[in-house]
Structure 1
Amino acid sequence: MNIYRFQGINSVENEIENILKDINYWKEYLKNKNVDYGYYEYKKYVLLAQKEQSELSLYERVDNDYKLILRNNVIVGENQGDKYSEGDKKTPEGAYDLIEKKTGLDQFYGPFALVTSYPNVFDQSLNKNGSGIWIHGMPYNGDREKFTKGCIALDNPELENLEKNLDIKKTVLITSQNEFKKATKDDIALILSSIFKWRDAWKYSNIDEYLVFYSQDFRKADKSGLEEFSEYKKRIFSKNEKKTIKFSNIDISPYPNTFGKLMFKVFMDEEYLSPTITFYGKKELFLEITNNQVKILSED
């Protein structure tokens, strides 16, 4: 109130933005929230597939906690490890969206399939390929092998019950080879505060502070690396345009991986306004925490 009285509304906004960059604010904000399976402002359901355990669990975000809705036995890809190429018979590891419900399929896949977003931007940056990674059912006629070519399959009644208990648009699928490693409040607080520091550097065209948030291993989906990205951003930032950048519906998912990295996927709504560009859409970041710093590995 005193800032508003003596310095005006713009100073109040600046003070709030400074608070959003403070990790201690986020630690306090998260104090009574369960973030075991991530932090979500939009998504409501987490599907957790643990390949070695042949298990698929559905959690619903209820208030500040997660409620286990169901747990089913599943079959996954014939071969262990993360998927890299078409035909390797491996189930991907990471965090994926559910894109659509596909019906009218061959009876081999059961009543329908839930299509995943593999390969995502991070997968593409690593030159991973293949497609058609689904959650589907079992054949109506005859038996099938006790493994898939990379999909996740479960009994038809369980598939139908699963679909009835989630909203495809509000569900994230997290897949891991071994037992899932839960997120911590310290990690989520660090990510949230870093997002707003990164946004601040972007907003005010501070190129040095901005590039600090990018890993030396940074790659885009088109395989271009940090050097090309840095040169492009330097040209854009040199215009020093006044920008408005707002984020909302921030979702942060743990990202199991085979690199030994502490990784997360961030998906959020972005509003970007400048004299030359108006953008309303989605922003997706794939990042790691290393040496208590957030480093972006890929983005879209």
Structure 2
Amino acid sequence: MKIVFLILITLSLHSSDILTSYRINGINTIEKQMDFELTKKEYWSAYIKDIDTTFGYMESYPNILTCNKENSTLNLYTKDSNNTYEFKNKYSAYTGKIKGDKLKEGDLKTPVGIYKITKKLSKENKLDSFYGPLAFVTSYPNTYDKYRGKNGHGIWIHGLPTEQERDEFTKGCIAIDNTNIECLNNIIDIENTLLIINSDEVKKGISKEILVSILSQLYSWRYSWLFDDIDGYLNFYSEGFIRFDGMKFERFKKYKTRVFKKIEKKTIIFNNINVIPYPNTKNIYQITFKELYKSDTFKFSGDKTLVIKLDKTNSMKILTEK
């Protein structure tokens, strides 16, 4: 596959220049050129041309759950054999007693946001009968929630009481009837299911043009990182940036400047990329991916999250990251 990709890149460039550079300098120069090609809109426009972007650019999630709090519904979409998101089921749902986005512990609101399902609970886990036969634990509060100072925990998708009475609302969770949650459990794999909660209808049919712009900028950010361009790298960050651990922009800038001065050979690979517009916001997107980073002094392999905002020229600025 790598050889095929190299051939395609070579054909799209000045072949003699590439071959001469390879003859004189070896593979490193060609790798740099290939990394640069990944920053171009032309590459991403061709790559996602036939990809379903109903909910954004998705590599990791064949199952999407959308919750419309206004209509009290939970909808399931799954990718069909053509890799197109197909509507599968609509479930009536109970949500938080109080309208609006969850801000703090005990406010009786269901959060608005994008969440992974981190765990499944059942009777085998000693799940209280109040939550029915099953419960799916969500990742609330996520990185963007914490950036905005939201708190609380224990936001689940769960069933209805099997032994108790209940009101027609929750303390912030999403509740569906027990037959439906068992049906949902039979359909989805929680590791490849994403939950998007909005106050009303979840946005669909995301602009490919915007996604191309974001993906090319994501790889421009990576390119600056790979080749120690500290000014180019930091230009992707908002002055109001706060990292997941509370590190603000000026301290982050000094830290990254020290790191970049090492001028190390680095490997940085992104897989399982997802770019999703954030509910109830304008021009804010969540980007998640698996990152492999390796240098002489540091190695990392794991999940990465960026929350970005597009300015009037669609230039991305990173608000927070983890």
TM over 0.5: yes
Deviation, 1:14, is 2.9
Paired residue for 2:35?
17
Length-normalised TM-score, structure 2: 0.88
Partners in 2 of 1:137 and 1:18 — Cα distance? 50
Structure 1 contact 127–223 (Cα < 8 Å) conserved? no
**13, 20, 29: which one pairs with 1:6?**
20
Deviation, 1:208, is 0.9
SS in 2 for 1:128: coil
Paired residue for 2:102?
83
Structure 2: gaps (5+ residues):
1-9
Structure 1 contact 174–254 (Cα < 8 Å) conserved? no
**246, 252, 260: which one pairs with 2:275?**
252
Partners in 1 of 2:149 and 2:285 — Cα distance? 19
Partners in 2 of 1:7 and 1:272 — Cα distance? 26
* CA deviation string 1:75-115 (max 9, x = no partner): 11111111111000111111111001012211111001000
Structure 1: gaps (5+ residues):
none
Paired residue for 2:264?
241
Change (3 A) 1:142 1:118: same
Instruction: State the AA in 2 paired with 1:160.
Output: E
Aligned pair 1:96/2:119, yes or no? no
* CA deviation string 1:113-158 (max 9, x = no partner): 0000011122122221110000000011343111111000000000
Change (3 A) 1:5 1:221: closer
* CA deviation string 1:169-210 (max 9, x = no partner): 011111111222232111211111111000011111211111
**50, 74, 83: which one pairs with 1:32?**
50
Deviation, 1:58, is 1.1
Paired residue for 1:229?
252
Which has the larger helix fraction?
2
Deviation, 1:222, is 2.9
Structure 1 contact 41–251 (Cα < 8 Å) conserved? yes
Equivalent residue pairs, number = 298
Partners in 1 of 2:48 and 2:69 — Cα distance? 30
Percent identity between the aligned chains? Answer: 42
Structure 1 contact 267–284 (Cα < 8 Å) conserved? yes
Deviation, 1:45, is 1.1
Aligned pair 1:105/2:127, yes or no? yes
SS in 1 for 2:310: strand
Say what the alpha-carbon RMSD is for the aligned residues: 1.6
What are the residue-to-residue correspondences of 1:1-300 with 2, within 5 Å?
Answer: 1=10, 2=15, 5-8=19-22, 9-62=27-80, 63-103=82-122, 104-182=126-204, 183-257=206-280, 260-291=281-312, 292-300=314-322
Partners in 2 of 1:6 and 1:238 — Cα distance? 30
Partners in 2 of 1:208 and 1:13 — Cα distance? 22
SS in 1 for 2:210: helix
Length-normalised TM-score, structure 1: 0.94
Deviation, 1:159, is 0.7
Larger radius of gyration: 2
